Amino acid sequence: MESDALTERHRFADAERAALYKTVFNRRDVRGQFTSTPVADEVLARVLYAAHHAPSVGFMQPWNFLVIRSQEKKQQVHQLFSKANREAAEMFEGEKQTAYKSLKLEGILESPINLCITCDRTRTGKPVLGRTHMKTMDLYSSVCAVQNLWLAARAEGLGVGWVSIMHEQELKDTLNIPEHVVPIAYLCIGYVEHFKDKPELETKGWLPRMNLSELVNFEQWQGEASTSEQEQLLETLQALESFPTNF
Ligand SMILES: Cc1cc2c(cc1C)N(C[C@H](O)[C@H](O)[C@H](O)COP(=O)(O)O)c1[nH]c(=O)[nH]c(=O)c1N2
């Protein structure tokens, strides 16, 4: 087959590709703009189904999805957050601490749905294809499920916020999660007043977005471009970063 034909053959139609990139670039971590509008089961089912189709090492599918709607349970988790957040603030100093304290870092009580995505480290027994040597691959698989859900939720108009400021064991105790299961992500989910254009940590000056072209190396860690082919990729990346609408 002609190589030109191959590059086109499996590509999505332009509008479909645009929708995918739109989802990627418009996904945000939401903490503050949740509304109490209920999420229909059909919508929640779709985003969970998208999560369940994430890649997983050895097709292990190590995830479970704990759907939390009770205000009482949310209150308990919120208390874990509040305690850990006070501890966290003390880890920063001076202006950084002031900035930290001004950030809203969760939407546990305001979001209609809280969701804990877990990783069962014993699922499918031993050995697991692809996890024979790198044992953390099951954890990363559950993270893939989180990202699938996050993107699907954005396409559905749902905001998602990840809350990780709590002691893992306290969260496990609160949700009755057994020893061999790891809570990977505690997510706040719901419809939102608006989505922000950029990460809040960027607009509030916590950290800037890095230049992708400075993060791409060749042949080895921090290997620099030495051929014109490598230079060309860096220039292409820089051009894309200057005009990110070229999708
Ligand atoms: C593993 C992990 C854990 C957390 C987060 C993310 C991830 C990937 N983020 C959200 C994070 O701050 C956010 O993704 C970045 O600031 C980039 O913003 P957007 O997600 O692009 O809007 C996050 N945000 C927050 O307000 N409280 C939190 O505890 C966490 N924890």
For range 55-84, the mean pLDDT: 98
Going from the Cα of 96 to the center of ligand 1, the distance in angstroms, rounded, reads 17
Residue 228 lies in a domain: yes
pLDDT at 1 over 60: no
- What is the Cα–Cα distance from 127 to 28, expressed in whole angstroms? 37
150 contact partners, CB below 8 Å, separation of at least 6: 27, 160, 187
- What is the Cα–Cα distance from 6 to 211, expressed in whole angstroms? 31
The reply to whether 182 and 244 lie within a common domain is: no
- What is the Cα–Cα distance from 21 to 27, expressed in whole angstroms? 10
For range 137-149, the mean pLDDT: 98
Confidence of residue 67 (pLDDT cuts 50, 70, 90): very high
Going from the Cα of 29 to the center of ligand 1, the distance in angstroms, rounded, reads 6
Amino acid identity, position 176: N
The reply to whether 98 and 203 lie within a common domain is: yes
Mutating to test ligand 1, I would choose from 27, 29, 187 the residue with most ligand atoms within 8 A of its C-beta, which is 29
Domain count, the chain: 2
Residue 122 lies in a domain: yes
The reply to whether 47 and 169 lie within a common domain is: yes
pLDDT in tens, 193-238: 999 999 999 999 999 999 999 999 999 999 999 999 999 999 999 9
The pTM score is: 0.97
- For 88-101, b/e burial (b = at least 16 CB within 10 A) is beeeeeeeeeeebe
Q: CATH number for the domain including 22? A: 3.40.109.10
Residue 168 lies in a domain: yes
Residue 161 lies in a domain: yes
pLDDT in tens, 76-132: 999 999 999 999 999 999 999 999 999 999 999 999 999 999 999 999 999 999 999
Beta carbon of 39 within 6 Å of any ligand 1 atom = no
Going from the Cα of 31 to the center of ligand 1, the distance in angstroms, rounded, reads 9
The reply to whether 82 and 155 lie within a common domain is: yes
Amino acid identity, position 172: K
Residue 3 lies in a domain: no
The reply to whether 231 and 123 lie within a common domain is: no
The reply to whether 226 and 186 lie within a common domain is: no
Whose alpha carbon is nearest atom 11 of ligand 1?
29
Residue 75 lies in a domain: yes
The reply to whether 92 and 57 lie within a common domain is: yes
The reply to whether 121 and 200 lie within a common domain is: yes
Domain that holds residue 246: 210-247
Using alpha carbons, select from 215, 214, 243, 218 the residue that is nearest to residue 229: 218
The reply to whether 183 and 82 lie within a common domain is: yes
Whose alpha carbon is nearest atom 17 of ligand 1?
199
Residue 2 lies in a domain: no
The reply to whether 140 and 51 lie within a common domain is: yes
- What is the Cα–Cα distance from 74 to 148, expressed in whole angstroms? 24
pLDDT at 4 over 80: no
pLDDT at 191 over 90: yes
pLDDT at 3 over 90: no
The reply to whether 247 and 133 lie within a common domain is: no
Q: In Å, what is the CA distance from 11 to each residue of 1, 33, 122, 170?
A: 16, 36, 37, 46
pLDDT at 178 over 80: yes
The reply to whether 63 and 176 lie within a common domain is: yes
Residue 1 lies in a domain: no
